Amino acid sequence: MKSTSSKWRALVGAAVALAMASVGTASPAIAATTLKKGLKVFVVPKNLGNSYFTTADSVKTGGALLALKQLGEVGQETSGTTDTPASQLPVIQADITKGANALIISGTDPNALCPTLNAAMKKGVTVVTYDSDTNCRDLFVNQASPQGLGNIEVQMIAKEINPKQPTAAAGQIAIVSASISDTNQNTWIKYMKQELTNYPHLKLVKVVYGNDDTATSVQVTQGLLSSYPNLKGIISPTTVGIAAAASVLDTPKYRGKVRLTGLGTPNEMKKYVADGTLSEFALWNPADLGYLAAYAAVELASHAITNAPGQSFVAGKLGRYKVGADHTILLGPPFVFTKANINKFNF
Amino acid sequence: MSPAPSATGPVQGRGPQPVEGHGAGNPGQPSSTLTWSSRRLLDAILRVREVGIVAVLVVFVAVATSVQPRFIDPQNIKFVFSNAIIYALLALGETVVVLSRNVDLSVGSVLGLSAYLSSDLFSQVHHIPIVAVFLAGLAIGLACGAVNGAVVAVARVPSLVVTLATLYIYRAIDVLIVGGGMVVASTLPGAFLSIPTSSLGPIPYLAIAVAGTVAVGAYVLASFRPGRELYAIGSNPDAARLAGIPMGKRIFWSFVVSGGIAGLAGVLWAATYGTIDSTAGLNYELTVVAAVVVGGVNIFGGSGTVVGAALGALLLATINQALYVLGISSFWDPAIDGALIVLAISLDHWITLRLTRALRKGAVQHAT
């Protein structure tokens, strides 16, 4: 999962200059009559058998294939077995040969797929990337903005520390990050510090680095607890770190006393949410990401919209979306997992 | 098999023999020529290594505590022990191998394989008893160790090469099985996850169990024929062979023991961290070898004790924790570990020189 999480961070970082995209209220009843039916749309995740992408793509979870089915398209998930361009590229080529109208791709490499994808786009195939961008596509559906991720983590820890009045939350907090040179982590931490100015009584005392290694993350968390006995909360913006920190805090001594939140995956955090070690954490909903990417692909392939900034469309149950700068659509604010919804997810 | 003890110095039967272990000293020196006083001197020097580690440990704890008094907070002591446990266990197994002038570099990969396969049983087999999971981890470790041992002992390939290969092979098998998946804490029973955290005051029960295991290991190595023969093989393989020691058999079983211990350590790793992917135990082998060397075990075999190795692991874990608690960048950690290795080897060399001199002197005195 480590590699997957770092990929997620990598692609989130790819969208630093992102404009506001998602707008307001859902009105799923609006039927897009201009959309073509029977389009051949291939969904190409990084690899098959990856539970994150299974959630993003399948009908059962409400992902890309469900959206395609509802729109009356012929959707199919194809990919290689390993997360490499060498494994993904032949599959994409085969999809084009099979007469694809649109491709929805999570790129295994920003450049390696480009000769093939550029040729496909010339022939009129719509190329939409999701989850992980490439340097050659019509649209990129991005799952979260760095600022959104930074802000929500601070908001969550404040709520954990003082549920009644988060802005009055007081005490020392610390961050368990991945590596000290990780651009994305540092960007998020920068936004966290910015957001912290709205919480005058929360004091960030230390940022420690667990290098996205479980054992190291456990040790740095222990070090924090030993050197800051009054620590009130820990934010860990990395899936490895938050699970490791949770395993340390999951004792009667700390459970509920040192609060925890950050970015995690539901499967890793289920136990800790169930036993009250933490009550919420964020990520995005992969199924929504796939669903949105499918709508975007069909809209483009039907020429109902172009990929120009400012173009907008209604993505079924998710509501109206607008194409932002750099031909990118932002899924929206991070998704918050709680005890109430965590069991609906399996990734 | 009854070798003539006096001809082979180190190969004497049972009971602690001060002479063996110093292959570099003077393996041909018959121990019967030692005078009582030089025996006592030897005993004292032999103990220096363990005493030395304890002294370094005490000094380190004292310094860390003077800077940050909370370092000896019961909770922090518990953290230190819990981090040392797995390394101390692995160091025990590694010492058994190193004593016979071999090395087992595959321990981290064996740990990883066992951690995933054993903890995955909880979701594969409903209501599987925790004991059965430990036995499964042990069995995986024993099997991996048996492969190592068989290739080293039967095919006579240097263990460095064999276990370097299996380090990658076992890890590759682990990655193939695990793929992008993982075992997550919610699939593990609470009783399993609480094994590493339950403690008697600041001391985890597990630490007591590991200390007991190390004590048993120390006794077996010091007082039983197979244990003594491992020292003999490491001191002087040629002499050991001439003395009729079944070298292949002893070396094979030393790898089986190391593998089995790594297998058990894998199950404990799973219980400690709760989230197990294909990276569990990555790079552990180097820390384990470091703990063994810092613990005063001669990397070329023949001398050292499992108690020293376990203390070495505890020392490294303490230093590690101290850096985090004192807020010193953990980039210093490898540097300090490295310095300790150099220190330990220098000390070892110095002791060996002193010992050789003492033995010569004793022999000369006896002769005159």
pLDDT of res. B335: 85
Q: Is the pLDDT of residue A10 over 60?
A: no
Looking at the 3D structure of chain B, how many domains does it have? 1
Domain boundary among the residues A255, A283, A311 is at A283
The DSSP result for A239-272, as a single string, is HHHHHHHHHHH-STTTTTTSEEEEB--HHHHHHH
User: Is residue B306, in this structure, part of any structural domain at all?
Assistant: yes
CA A17 distance to own-chain centroid: 17
pLDDT of res. B13: 38
User: Is residue B293, in this structure, part of any structural domain at all?
Assistant: yes
User: Is residue A344, in this structure, part of any structural domain at all?
Assistant: no
Mutate to test the interface with B, among A106, A205, A219 (most CBs of B within 10 A): A219
Distance of residue B279 Cα from the nearest chain A Cα, in angstroms:
8
pLDDT of res. B14: 39
A95 and A162 assigned to the same domain:
no
User: Is residue A3, in this structure, part of any structural domain at all?
Assistant: no
pLDDT of res. A135: 92
Quick one: pLDDT band at residue B9, thresholds 50, 70, 90?
very low
Distance of residue B93 Cα from the nearest chain A Cα, in angstroms:
21
User: Is residue B30, in this structure, part of any structural domain at all?
Assistant: no
| Spatial separation of the C-alpha atoms in residues B269 and B193, rounded to whole Å | 10
Contacts A51 to B, Cβ<8 Å: 180-181
User: Is residue B17, in this structure, part of any structural domain at all?
Assistant: no
A139 and A154 assigned to the same domain:
no
Q: Do residues A199 and A154 make contact, with C-beta atoms less than 8 angstroms apart?
A: yes
Q: Quote the percentage of chain A above a pLDDT of 90.
A: 73
Cβ distance A227 to B75 less than 8 Å, yes or no, reads no
Number of neighbouring beta carbons within 10 Å of residue B130: 16
pLDDT of res. A110: 86
| Spatial separation of the C-alpha atoms in residues B53 and B294, rounded to whole Å | 8
pLDDT of res. B42: 64
Quick one: pLDDT band at residue A54, thresholds 50, 70, 90?
confident
A261 and A162 assigned to the same domain:
yes
A77 and A137 assigned to the same domain:
yes
pLDDT, average across residues A203-221: 93
pLDDT, average across residues B49-62: 86
Which tops the pLDDT comparison, A31 or B316? Answer: B316
pLDDT of res. A212: 85
pLDDT, average across residues A115-144: 94
Range of the domain at B357: 44-367
Cβ distance A271 to B184 less than 8 Å, yes or no, reads yes
User: Is residue B22, in this structure, part of any structural domain at all?
Assistant: no
A153 and A253 assigned to the same domain:
yes
User: Is residue A346, in this structure, part of any structural domain at all?
Assistant: no
Range of the domain at A260: 146-283
A172 and A246 assigned to the same domain:
yes
pLDDT, average across residues B60-86: 92
Q: Is the pLDDT of residue B2 over 50?
A: no
User: Is residue A336, in this structure, part of any structural domain at all?
Assistant: no
pLDDT of res. B355: 77
User: Is residue A9, in this structure, part of any structural domain at all?
Assistant: no
Contacts A47 to B, Cβ<8 Å: 180
A260 and A207 assigned to the same domain:
yes
User: Is residue B32, in this structure, part of any structural domain at all?
Assistant: no
User: Is residue B85, in this structure, part of any structural domain at all?
Assistant: yes
A42 and A105 assigned to the same domain:
yes
Q: Is the pLDDT of residue A8 over 80?
A: no
Q: Is the pLDDT of residue B18 over 50?
A: no
A270 and A292 assigned to the same domain:
no
Contacts B193 to A, Cβ<8 Å: 250
Of A144-153, A282-291, B32-41, give the lowest mean pLDDT range: B32-41
Looking at the 3D structure of chain A, how many domains does it have? 2
Residue B238: which CATH number? 1.10.3470
Contacts A220 to B, Cβ<8 Å: 324, 330
Q: Do residues B300 and B158 make contact, with C-beta atoms less than 8 angstroms apart?
A: no
A131 and A154 assigned to the same domain:
no
Task: State both tokens at A204.
Answer: 């960030």
- Asked if B261 reaches chain A (Cβ–Cβ under 8 Å), the answer is no
Closest C-alpha to B310, from B293, B284, B291, B297: B291
| Spatial separation of the C-alpha atoms in residues B216 and B306, rounded to whole Å | 10
Quick one: pLDDT band at residue B210, thresholds 50, 70, 90?
very high
pLDDT tens for B227-281 read 999 999 999 999 999 999 999 999 999 999 999 999 999 999 999 999 998 889 9
pLDDT, average across residues A315-342: 94
A61 and A132 assigned to the same domain:
yes
pTM: 0.78
pLDDT tens for B144-183 read 999 999 999 999 999 999 999 999 999 999 988 987 678 9
pLDDT of res. B44: 66
A162 and A220 assigned to the same domain:
yes
Task: Give the Å distances, CA to CA, from A72 to A68, A294, B297.
Answer: 6, 12, 71
Q: Do residues B235 and B301 make contact, with C-beta atoms less than 8 angstroms apart?
A: yes
Nearest to A1 among B75, B76, B277 (CB): B277
| Average pLDDT over all residues of chain B | 86
User: Is residue B144, in this structure, part of any structural domain at all?
Assistant: yes
Quick one: pLDDT band at residue B28, thresholds 50, 70, 90?
very low
pLDDT of res. A183: 78
Residue A29: which CATH number? 3.40.50.2300
Residues found in chain B: 368
